[in-house]
Structure 1
Amino acid sequence: MAKIISAQDLQIDLDGANEAGLFKWLVASFLMGKRIQGEIAARAYQVIVEDHQRDTPQKLARCTHRQLVAMLGQAHYVRYDESTASRLVALANKLNDEYAAKVTNIVAASADRQAFEKRLSEFDGIGPKTVEIFMREAAGVLFEHANRSTPSQ
């Protein structure tokens, strides 16, 4: 059985539901949610986000399809490179356009965790596996954070 790769393994800080960490974990989860080896997906994350500094939705959205395919190829993420490149740009654009480039705004727009997961699955290329991977580590910080920021009655 393959090792489960965590946010900590990728040196992604999710503490306090910080936006930078949440976006990075969303990209990593997106890449790991495909039928591809976890190590290759982790390397693709590192190439795109760390090596090429595409660490915000705005920066990722400015990538061309060709640039992303090349980055994915650099990580040997070649089985789904064309569709993944298109969907990564679509993910960044949707996050930018509909949620002001913030994962936490998806939470704010959602009544509860189930509604959040539904909204997440509306992103092109995000299916149940990607939602599962993302929520495995983000749910605690997202919904703990949301509950703390709600004023008490």
Structure 2
Amino acid sequence: MKSHDATVRELLDVAGTTYAEQADIDLADKPAPLYRLLVLSVLLSTRIKADIAVAAARELAVFGTPRKMLDATWQQRVDALGRGHYVRYDESTATALGQGAELLLDRYRGDLRRGREHPDGIPKALQEIPKLGPVGAHIFCREAQGVWPELRPYLDKKAQDGAKRVGLPTAAKDLAGLVPGDDLPRLAAALVRVTLEKDTATRLIPA
């Protein structure tokens, strides 16, 4: 049986690219990349393949701030989603993105970092964004813990289910002890892929 350390090394090697990295987001504690992560989280929240959501997020990068997203026409947002083949939910998502950008500008002056001061916590603040429910909040927090240390360790049920499948401990604090803090987003992404992607699970779960 492989050791936990060996399993984690394999996880990170095979599936440890974060969704932000996959979407060409150079994540940092700055307004623009955090906003792009928020948009990606909205796109990943729907019942659509992750690769399609990531492709659509890349297309929407041209509207990479709340002001640019709000200033874009609804049709421009729909067209960008279409170029990423995000067609099943394109119209409703285009509307939600405009509404979310307006909310961010009104409430946080376009800077999502101000949501960290929400009295009910970051996940609750995120769920005020149109079309971003608990699933989207989990996605954002799993990735953002790399730049917002107060979220660590953020390893929700999807990540914990993946840990169970590959024989790792499931408690967040135990999983966090297996990697440096900066690697937690990569570990979370890898564990989620084990849960959601059959091919990844097949490569990593012993027969």
TM tier relative to shorter chain: 0.7 to 0.9
TM-score scaled by structure 1?
0.81
Structure 2: segments with no counterpart, 5+ residues? 1-14, 152-207
Aligned to 1:20: 32
**8 A Cα contact 1:104 1:142, kept in partner:** no
Aligned mates of 1:138, 1:25 — CA distance in 2: 8
Mark the CA change 1:102 to 1:137 in structure 2 (over 3 Å): closer, same or farther: same
Out of 118, 126, 134, the position equivalent to 1:120 is 126
Q: Percent identity?
A: 38
TM-score scaled by structure 2?
0.61
Shift of residue 12, structure 1, vs aligned partner: 1.6
Which shows bigger deviation, 21-30 or 5-14?
Answer: 5-14
Out of 79, 88, 94, the position equivalent to 2:97 is 88
Aligned to 2:41: 29
1:63-82 paired onto structure 2 within 5 Å: 63-82=72-91
Aligned mates of 2:36, 2:146 — CA distance in 1: 16
Out of 97, 113, 116, the position equivalent to 1:104 is 113
Superposition RMSD in Å: 2.1
1:59-97 CA-to-partner distances (Å, cap 9, x unmatched) read: 001111111111111111111111100000011110011
Shift of residue 139, structure 1, vs aligned partner: 2.8
Structure 1: segments with no counterpart, 5+ residues? 146-153
Aligned mates of 1:5, 1:140 — CA distance in 2: 10
Q: How many residues align?
A: 137
Out of 57, 68, 71, the position equivalent to 1:59 is 68
1:14-38 CA-to-partner distances (Å, cap 9, x unmatched) read: 23x1222111111111111111111
| 1:63 maps to amino acid | A
Aligned mates of 2:23, 2:82 — CA distance in 1: 19
Mark the CA change 1:136 to 1:85 in structure 2 (over 3 Å): closer, same or farther: same
Q: RCO greater where, 1 or 2, for CA within 8 Å and sep 6 or more?
A: 1
Aligned mates of 1:6, 1:42 — CA distance in 2: 7
**8 A Cα contact 2:22 2:54, kept in partner:** no
Out of 9, 23, 29, the position equivalent to 1:10 is 23
Aligned to 1:135: 141
Larger Rg: 2
Aligned mates of 1:5, 1:87 — CA distance in 2: 24
